[in-house]
Amino acid sequence: MNKNGEQYKVFKQVINAFYTNDTSKSKEIHPKIDNLSIEPQLIYDTFHKTLKAEFRIGDGQLYKIKSLPEFFEHMLNNEEVKYGAKLNFIHTKDAFKDSDQKLLEFVLKYAEIIKYSNETVGSYGKYMRTMSNEYITISNTGLDELFDVLQNKKVKFKMDSKDSEIVFINENPKVVFSIEQDKSGDYILTPNLDVFSYDMIKGSSYNYMLTSNFLYRCDSHFCETVLKLLNVYRENYTASIRLKREELPTFCSLIYPKLKDKVSLKHLDKSLIDKYIPQELFVKLYLDYEENNYITADIKFVYGDREFNPLDENNLTIARDISKENEYLDIFVNTGFMLDRENKRLILANDDMIYQFLSEEIDEYMQKFEVLVTDNFKNKEIRKPKIGSIGVKIENDLLRIDLSQMDFDVNEIREIMEKYTLKKKFHRLKDGSFLELEENETMNFINSLMENEDVGFDEIQKGEIKLPVSRTMYLDRILETIDTNVVKGENYKKIVNQISKRDIEDNIRLPKGLKSELRNYQVTGFKWLKILDMYKFGGILADDMGLRKNNTATCCFTVLSRRKSYSEAKYCCMSKFAFS
């Protein structure tokens, strides 16, 4: 081929590629298949406690998927593959039954994991591979996912080379313990199943009991009660548990309350058991503060008409729900309560824990217990700092702000504001009560005064703040942020109304000797500055206000401070004036 021919060789390949693609459409078209099944077989290794799954596909006659990564590739590329004399199809999801789509997704997900895992490891050595291509080893998470897919379905199962079928059941197995008395007077506790006939398999979110016929998904209560008891049998290689006659009350108080719907009384007088079964447990809780402002908790456990202090050593003859008692005592421990042995009560001695208890945890206590509190306790509950009312007036060219109506001890204002600026949740006052500091409008208001007006703690403690009258508008703006009664003086209200509404009086006239004609916005600017001067506000005509200060035909006016009068201010302008 000559040089010119070489230049067009690549394009001819493009033509051939598209021609091949088009002509392939004329090949034999296979009938559409949409009724294929995919069926799993679970294989359980009792020695290694591992579960794996193989899969078969087909319509009637099933063929084993020998390589899950290859199956994933076929599905990814919609390839046509022949498995045997009776199965040849194009690999699409539509080829499978609707009822098997979720299982197909499960298979493809883990087949892809096997493919890329083995390819990655294989790149380090020709014969290295981490996973089998023929089956999926079911992980903890994988078991939860597979159970969701196969729930209530019958699945082929192989355990120790024996073939059977199991059903995936989303409920606890029906385990019952019978208790009876033998000739010696001892009591015998026996389960209704062989304790070595099942295996427990952990999922990611659930636990599963595997028997020869079922895979049960068990809830947490079953695992914490029934399974815990079954484990005692297995650990001791025994089919029954023997207890002495004098141990029956302990069984009834500690174990029976949690398993009463799982215990069958065999040839026993129920009144004998009832004698030792505790009544429902109630808790009375008495809360108070002691001299150091620590919370004290006096506890009373109540069974029927019997009431006692669980922290006081006693030899009670009543039946007690020991398990429930321990559960309730743990609530106090988790909150941070400590034992006060001398007074036989609990005490909470950490300010952060006390605040947490009062702000959040006490609700749980009130739901579970009967909570009784003293007046002393009520008076020290958490509250938001507030100002009852604020007075504002103008006297002698000064703003006078009355802050004497604060509902907390202002002598602690320094400590309160320090904690507020550090974004602490609370401040505990010397009287033992708590001020909530988070998202508090009163604290925001006081902080705004102190930061922007250079107000000191001493002024706030005196109950009155004095500010320049020029801060009127700023004060009015921050007063809008606080929800309290504000008593405003007439002079104060007059200034705010005039300035906020741009109420420029008609009797404000331009200087008679002005030789230039001002535009409307320049007249407005002049009158605005005149109003600032009238109320002794400091103002300045800035460079970017568009009033043409540097034009000799413009009246440029500056009021530098409340000390300068209108007549004095005209001499402060930096540009040329046209006054006579």
pLDDT tens digit sequence for 146-186: 999 999 999 999 998 899 999 999 999 999 999 998 989 89
Span 527-531, average pLDDT:
74
Span 369-388, average pLDDT:
92
Residue 198 has pLDDT above 50, yes or no: yes
Q: Report the length, in residues, of the chain.
A: 580
Q: What is the pLDDT of residue 483?
A: 87
Q: Which of 80-89, 120-129, 292-301 has the highest mean pLDDT?
A: 292-301
Residue 1 has pLDDT above 90, yes or no: no
Pairwise pLDDT comparison (414 vs 520), residue with the higher score: 414
Span 99-124, average pLDDT:
88
Q: What is the pLDDT of residue 578?
A: 33
Residue % of the chain over a pLDDT of 70: 86
CA-based nearest residue to 486, from 399, 390, 385, 386: 390
Q: What does residue 289 show for φ and ψ, rounded to 5 degrees?
A: -110, 145
Q: What is the pLDDT of residue 572?
A: 38
Ranges 81-95, 413-427, 565-579: which has the least confidence: 565-579
Q: What is the pLDDT of residue 66?
A: 94
Q: Which of 307-316, 423-432, 538-547 has the highest mean pLDDT?
A: 423-432
Instruction: Specify the DSSP class assigned to residue 185.
Output: S
Span 515-523, average pLDDT:
79
Instruction: Specify the DSSP class assigned to residue 219.
Output: P
Residue 127 has pLDDT above 90, yes or no: no
Measured CA to CA in angstroms, residue 434 lies from 284, 358, 429, 457 at distances of 25, 10, 6, 20
Q: What is the pLDDT of residue 34?
A: 73
Q: What is the pLDDT of residue 24?
A: 47
pLDDT tens digit sequence for 562-576: 333 334 343 333 333
d(CA 28, CA 86): 18
Pairwise pLDDT comparison (292 vs 506), residue with the higher score: 292
pLDDT tens digit sequence for 320-329: 888 889 999 9
pTM across the whole model: 0.60
Q: What is the pLDDT of residue 128?
A: 55
Confidence of residue 507 (pLDDT cuts 50, 70, 90): low
Q: What is the pLDDT of residue 563?
A: 36
d(CA 291, CA 212): 66
Q: What is the pLDDT of residue 163?
A: 93
Instruction: Specify the DSSP class assigned to residue 239.
Output: S
Question: Under a CB-based contact definition with an 8 Å cutoff, are residues 542 and 565 in contact?
Answer: no
Burial of 299 (0-12, 13-18, 19+ CB in 10 A): buried
Span 433-445, average pLDDT:
90
Confidence of residue 83 (pLDDT cuts 50, 70, 90): very high
Ranges 80-84, 196-200, 542-546: which has the least confidence: 542-546
Which conformational region is residue 231 in: left (phi greater than 0), alpha (psi within -120 to 50 degrees), or beta? alpha
d(CA 464, CA 322): 61
Helix (H) or strand (E) holding 191: strand 187-191
What are the residues facing 263 on neighbouring strands? 177
CA 451 remoteness from chain centre = 35
Span 269-275, average pLDDT:
77
Q: What is the pLDDT of residue 501?
A: 56
Structure tokens given for 432: 């033992």
What are the residues facing 147 on neighbouring strands? none
Sequence-ordered list of residues with C-beta below 8 angstroms from that of 64, at least 6 positions apart, any chain: 54, 55, 56, 134
Q: What does residue 304 show for φ and ψ, rounded to 5 degrees?
A: 60, -120
Residue % of the chain over a pLDDT of 90: 47
Average model confidence (pLDDT) across the chain: 84
CA-based nearest residue to 472, from 526, 407, 539, 413: 539
Question: Under a CB-based contact definition with an 8 Å cutoff, are residues 36 and 96 in contact?
Answer: yes
Ranges 256-265, 330-339, 520-529: which has the least confidence: 520-529
DSSP string, 288-313: EE-TTS-EEEEEEEEETTEEE-TTS-
Span 541-545, average pLDDT:
58
Structure tokens given for 440: 């508090």
Structure tokens given for 539: 């103002």
Residue 27 has pLDDT above 50, yes or no: no
Span 197-207, average pLDDT:
94
Q: Which of 12-16, 291-295, 388-392 has the highest mean pLDDT?
A: 291-295
d(CA 577, CA 580): 9
Q: What is the pLDDT of residue 13?
A: 74
Domains of the chain by residue range: 37-42+52-136, 171-276, 281-378, 383-500, 504-580
Q: What is the pLDDT of residue 244?
A: 92
pLDDT tens digit sequence for 470-480: 888 888 888 88
Span 96-116, average pLDDT:
95
CA dihedral 559, 560, 563, 565 (to 10 degrees): -20
| Side chain identity at residue 438, one-letter code | E
E strand segments, 325-376: 338-340, 345-348, 370-373
Residue 134 has pLDDT above 80, yes or no: yes
pLDDT tens digit sequence for 254-263: 888 888 889 9
d(CA 556, CA 569): 10
Span 91-115, average pLDDT:
95
